[in-house]
Structure 1
Amino acid sequence: MSKGPHAAAEAGFPDAFVARCLDDALAHGARVYGISGLQGSGKSTLAAQLARLAGECGIRAVVLSLDDAYLDHDERARLARDVHPLLATRGPPGTHDMALATRTLDALRAGEPVALPRFDKLADSKRPGSEWPRADNVELVLFEGWFLGAPPEPDAALADPVNALERDEDPDGRWRRWCNDALARDYPALWRRIDRLLFLQGPGFDIVPRWRWQQEQSLQAGHPDRKAMTRAQVERFVQFFERTSRQAMRTLPGMADTVAPLDGERRPL
């Protein structure tokens, strides 16, 4: 296998690892199998591989991403105006349409027909509802997201900034406290809909800028006529996720049902 920077991302996870993950979901009767992990850790790749393998086994499976429940640009602009300017940027707790996410998961768990939301990251808005794929009689939902299952931080942990973004653009801590409050208030109900949680444990947050840049390059390659982020923009963007990512790395190894350590090329260890 090639050991270049895109090797694991392009090749996906080893078949044996994917099979073990599917066995884990089926052995515990999971209707909703959660996949959590750092940005760029391969969650969507693994979810797609699991869906294909499930289909080969005669199991009706669909993939749902927390990213597809982002609030639209205009909705976040209102939050930026009314609460804090940093809320214009999608991603952190509080920038998701929680009603849409929970309603979709509930319908899928019940085997009811439902349209699966899709978010256009380059356009920074939900795709038109007419483009949302339909699902019915689903037996397994592969639900992935970068902070699935993460709990809020204690108030005392919010006092000091974790990076330059927080230091320079959130000096009084108002943005990070608002996001942490949203994580405590709005997300536990969604986490409870996950029957079993897999945590892809990356080697540390320092790998995220490289992983996220690889994602952006792939996104741009798939849509050469549209503008993706530059490397400098990615470096700033990942700082929005650092605090909650570090909280997830501290807590999820002891909370997730299954933990899969990864190396810097996303290979299971």
Structure 2
Amino acid sequence: MEQVHGALSGFRHRPVVIGICGAQGSGKSTLAQAVQARCAAERIASAVLSLDDLYLTHAERQALARDVHPLLATRGVPGTHDIALGLDVLDGLEAGGPVALPRFDKARDDRVSEHDWPIIGPGCQVLVLEGWCLGAFPQRTSELAEPVNALEAGEDPDGHWRRWVNDMLGDSYQRLFARIDRLVLLAAPGFEVVHRWRSQQERDLAARAGPDDRVMSAAQIARFIAHYERITRAILAEMPARADLVVRLDQDRRPEVVEGR
């Protein structure tokens, strides 16, 4: 809460945005909920929005897959979110609300009907914004030349997909990330643990899934996280030097070291 109070002291005229970045399964949603609960206990009006809730619809991603690159059918990488929608939410909160918060149903792989989005009333003081690539910077062109895994080597041999994703990250995403007042990084010990963490998430999803919901197999999870590997590795390499708070996690997601600026 130190980051929250510090931000509140400097931005009384609008809601402060606390950004939480971390690899898949690192505990971003859990931390966001904990911050919201603490805010409630201190009578600070708050809301939580995930970058995942800004995913383009299934149909929109299918169109990208057809028109730009087949790998864009898979949600997650920059270019598969509706960033304009996220900026509209922030603008609405700054204007005083009320604001409807988008929601995405991962089991259906599609956006929830707008009629079912929760409404945040006027007076929101803190928005907790969380996402796996939140605050990430684009890579240099030279860093995109070599594939980082079999997915890139086999399905993006000419680098068109990763260059397009990198361009998206360097454009509209930076306008959204510029609205973050405090950036928190949940730093995994390495990308190698992400498969196990994401598999645990999928088991939780499977326990709640209905008969028509989509749940990934182990092979599908491995392919899924390969889409995220390049940017996740880049985040772990460079973001600790600039994040306002870095929580270094062990392989079981327990905090080992907390570093603050």
Q: TM-score of the superposition, structure 2-length normalised?
A: 0.93
One of 225, 231, 242 as aligned partner of 2:229: 242
* Aligned pairs for 1:1-269 within 5 A: 22-29=1-8, 31-136=16-121, 137-225=123-211, 226-269=213-256
Specify the alignment match of 2:259 in structure 1: none
C-alpha contact 1:111 1:139 (8 A) present in aligned 2: no
CA distance 1:74–1:224, change in 2 (3 Å): closer
**Contact kept in structure 2, 1:150 and 1:251, CA below 8 Å:** no
Aligned to 1:12: none
Identity %: 51
Task: Please give the alpha-carbon distance, in whole angstroms, between the structure 2 residues aligned to 1:241 and 1:110.
Answer: 34
- For 1:40 and 1:110, the matched residues in 2 are separated by 33
Aligned-partner SS, 1:199: strand
Q: Which runs of 5+ in 2 are unaligned?
A: 257-261
Distance 2:29 2:70 in 1: 29
Once residues 253 and 221 of structure 1 are traced to their aligned partners in structure 2, the CA distance between those partners, rounded to angstroms, is 34
What is residue 9 of structure 1 aligned with on the other side? none
Instruction: Say which SS state the counterpart of residue 128 (structure 2) adopts.
Output: strand
**Aligned 8 A contact 2:109 2:214 in 1:** no
Residue by residue over 1:118-140, the C-alpha shift from the partner in whole angstroms, topping out at 9 and shown as x without a partner, is 00111111100111000022111
**2 CA distance for matches of 1:116 and 1:185?**
23
Which amino acid in structure 1 is aligned with residue 39 of structure 2? A
Q: State the superposition RMSD in angstroms.
A: 1.1
Letter in 1 for 2:171: R
The structural deviation recorded for 1:108 is 2.0
For residues 168 and 87 of structure 1, what CA distance do their matches in structure 2 show? 15
The residue type paired with residue 56 of structure 1 is A
Which consecutive aligned stretches of 4+ in structure 1 deviate over 6 angstroms post-superposition? none
CA distance in 2, matches of 1:178, 1:227: 27
Structure 1 gaps, min length 5: 1-21
The letter of the residue matching 2:21 is: S
